[in-house]
Structure 1
Amino acid sequence: MSTIVRIAARGEGVTADGRHAAFAAPGDMLTEAGGIVHGPHHADPPCRHFPECGGCQLQHLDDHAYAGFVVDRIAGALAGQGLAAPIRPAILSPQNTRRRASLHAEARGGRVLLGFAAEKSHAVVDLRECHILAPELFALVAPLRVLLQRLSLRGRGDVHLTTADQGADILLTGVRPDGLAGADAITAFCERHDIARLSVDDGFGPETRWEPEPVTVTLGGIPIPFPPHGFLQATREGEAALVLAVGDAIGPARTVADLFAGLGTFALGLPGRVYAAEGARDAAAALKAAADGRRRPVFVEHRDLFRRPLTTAELDRFDAVVIDPPRAGAREQAAALAACKAQVIAYVSCNPSSFARDAKALCEGGWRIDWVQPVGQFRWSTHVELAARLVR
């Protein structure tokens, strides 16, 4: 028998001699026939939908093994670029704390299926329980099935759920609730379930159908106008961990550039004067309105940093730079960052591979990685996030 020593990037257990086994945990034993003898870090998956549901791939790991996987994903990505760095213990979000999720809906056989996609498939797993969604969001799954049926969902659609300050914010795609009957169904659903906002996107952008009062999310202690299907960190605990890590990274910097600033997750809590660049027009406008309303020293620019990254000369004006790009990373911006005179970079990433690629470019420009803080917001998934401090 061979011992499972680690978990691969896609979730399979791997032995020291390179054999792979699905649903194996570190410490499990892999027999010659391919069977698995469970070890001390193998957990009983709590959800009836595991492993069919693609929302979780790693429910068979205990917290120790899952935290190890999160750290290993980052270490492996760095090693792939010839880099190494001190990696802190992973911070994991608890069960049932996801405040943002996208579910798939499908009309089939006279009923509506609603849930996550099946693992490695487009089939919809009809959720009857969920151990990652916040309870207030999961409580809406069954009523949403009824609503979608009343709205005559045809084929497939999506339901985007977010917990805002006022309650659940819902965006439906793939439905066209025309006529009085559709309007009445939406109104009745929203009133009964205290929905903060419900919007519909039939291909021409979100159209709000219900919003009794303006929807906000609070970041840095400030309520921010929240665009339909706006971006938030997946859990409050994950957001807090990343904000704390960024603050630890930049310290008492007097001037800070926040790149890919979004709604202001970091900008509104940063010290000193802040320049915030964001490519999404709605998010930039919301951040500007919130900062101006509270007289915060935050200058917001609507700027596409992929097409027009800050130049080295522009970056030289700042003591510190915070950067939080999407999964593709920030190859173009990293090139200018590598040559700038800032004292510290706080790099937040939702993709260890693109982070490692950009970090290599920075290190080749004279920077070094001081530390990396892993964050497991998407519990039991292979999706890993991090914050890193880079100095010269």
Structure 2
Amino acid sequence: MTNPGLIVRIAAKGEGATADGRYAELAAPGDVIEADGSLTKGPNHVEPPCRHFPACGGCQLQHLSESALATYVFDRAIGAAKGQDIVSGKVTPPHLSPANSRRRATLHAQGIGKRVVIGFREQGSHKIIDMRECHVLAPEMVAIVGALRTLLEGWGDRKLGVDVELAMADQGLSVGLKGLKVEGLKRTEALLDFSRDNHLARLTIDSGYGPEGVWEPEPVTITLGGTAVSLPPGAFLQATRDGEAVLAQAAREWVGDAPTVADLFSGLGTFAFALASATTKVRAVEAARDTHLACQSAARMNGRLVHCLHRDLFRNPLRVEELDRFAAVLLDPPRAGAQEQVDQIAASTVPRVVYISCNAASWARDAVRLIAGGYRLAEVRPVGQFRWSTHVELASLFVRD
């Protein structure tokens, strides 16, 4: 007989769950909730590598073994499909990004007396965990925290509150400080010294009117599909390079030799440049003007068969008659999904649809609409780019038989 206190799975928000629906914080599959409420650890419960866990909101699952973490990523992706009674023809084992591989993040800095604390916020709180180590972020991003703390402590602003946007570009680390007031030559020189001494690729300041460049020795780019693309401050990137590679490889396999592809919600061209070739033309459609222009400029300068269209697909989705011109469609919408655009795709005759998602729940709702329109879910590939977090992504293929 199964022990009723046995933790059998990890729930969506990261709690351990028993078969009869009881939950326990920081429990792993194989742990046991004893009669007195204490937790006996099982073989999947490991020692968290970071001193800030579990207080730091950057991670929720550092106590899981590698196999338990992989199972969680798999179950989150497939569980959403099962919840909508969707059956996939094939599901691959999940891909997990390694530790210290995340290349973009937003940290928070706050003045507390003469001190400045910098880090992620505590789970469910505005309190900032003062970061002294991080096993998720790229080493260059972790290394800048101490220097940034020193810079801001010299600012002399006891009411200081700054958002710190970090991104790894081709040239190195790009830093954006939002909410920092820069007044006077001394502070300007301090920012320049900080940028030079820490070999930043770029530093921008946003005092409430958008990011303004302070330091950028050479134009900052990000290489996508072998093409260097200008990287606007704050632009979206896939969380890790290896996660991006896995998603792009899935897209290439599934699109195959399709001569024409529509890349919807294309951003900087992550998938457009990965798919474009001498025999495949890509129409990249994006609403954000700065990212659209960056993609367009890179395509023209490098002679890539990527044709860019500036268009808000939420207010003005591609219509059936436009979609029917393409041999394949790829879409990578925001977390809310893309109901209006999916309805148009479902009514089209496009043979193949590649759907990349960062939210399994909204993906499943959209998948129901595609299936109702005559598509079949042929394959799903779960991806855990946000290591040790409850955030899961997936790539999926829908086909018309």
- 2:39 aligned with 1:36: yes
Q: Distance in 2 between matches of 1:365 and 1:32?
A: 51
Question: How much does 1:152 deviate?
Answer: 4.1
- Does the Cα contact within 8 Å between 2:160 and 2:180 map onto a contact in 1? no
Aligned to 1:326: 334
Given candidates 364, 387, 398, the residue that maps to 1:390 is: 398
What CA deviation, in whole Å up to 9, does each residue of 1:75-95 have, x standing for no partner?
A: 221122221223211000000
Question: TM-score normalized by structure 1?
Answer: 0.98
- Does the Cα contact within 8 Å between 2:16 and 2:23 map onto a contact in 1? yes
Aligned to 1:100: 104
- Does the Cα contact within 8 Å between 1:152 and 1:175 map onto a contact in 2? no
- Does the Cα contact within 8 Å between 1:21 and 1:34 map onto a contact in 2? no
What CA deviation, in whole Å up to 9, does each residue of 1:108-136 have, x standing for no partner?
A: 12111000000111100000111001111
Q: Distance in 2 between matches of 1:244 and 1:151?
A: 46
Aligned to 2:132: 128
- 2:55 aligned with 1:47: no
User: Pairwise mapping of residues 119-268 of structure 1 onto structure 2 (< 5 A)?
Assistant: 119-153=123-157, 154-268=159-273
Q: Distance in 1 between matches of 2:245 and 2:338?
A: 23
Structure 2 SS opposite 1:169: strand
Q: Distance in 2 between matches of 1:176 and 1:302?
A: 33
Structure 2 SS opposite 1:76: helix
Aligned to 1:116: 120
Aligned to 2:62: 59
Structure 2: gaps spanning 5 or more residues: none
Question: TM-score normalized by structure 2?
Answer: 0.96
- 2:348 aligned with 1:343: no
Aligned to 1:278: 286
Question: How much does 1:166 deviate?
Answer: 0.7
Counterpart residue type for residue 297 of structure 1: L
Given candidates 12, 15, 19, the residue that maps to 2:18 is: 15
- 2:85 aligned with 1:82: yes
Counterpart residue type for residue 111 of structure 1: R
Q: Distance in 2 between matches of 1:265 and 1:11?
A: 30
Q: Distance in 2 between matches of 1:248 and 1:13?
A: 36
Question: How much does 1:192 deviate?
Answer: 0.3
Structure 2 SS opposite 1:139: helix
Which is worse superposed, 317-326 or 169-178? Answer: 169-178
Q: Distance in 2 between matches of 1:33 and 1:317?
A: 64
Given candidates 298, 308, 313, the residue that maps to 2:306 is: 298
Structure 1 SS opposite 2:315: coil
Q: Distance in 2 between matches of 1:146 and 1:306?
A: 43
Counterpart residue type for residue 133 of structure 2: E
Runs of 4 or more above 6 Å deviation: none
Question: How much does 1:39 deviate?
Answer: 1.1
Structure 1: gaps spanning 5 or more residues: none
Counterpart residue type for residue 263 of structure 2: D
Counterpart residue type for residue 187 of structure 1: L
CA RMSD of aligned residues (A): 1.0
Question: How much does 1:330 deviate?
Answer: 0.5
Q: Distance in 1 between matches of 2:160 and 2:174?
A: 23
Question: How much does 1:178 deviate?
Answer: 1.6
Counterpart residue type for residue 129 of structure 2: V
> When the two structures are aligned, how many residues end up with a matched partner?
392
Q: Distance in 1 between matches of 2:51 and 2:15?
A: 20
What CA deviation, in whole Å up to 9, does each residue of 1:15-42 have, x standing for no partner?
A: 1111101111111111122211111111
Q: Distance in 2 between matches of 1:148 and 1:334?
A: 46
Structure 2 SS opposite 1:244: helix
Counterpart residue type for residue 181 of structure 1: K
Q: Distance in 2 between matches of 1:260 and 1:299?
A: 14
- 2:297 aligned with 1:289: yes
- 2:358 aligned with 1:353: no
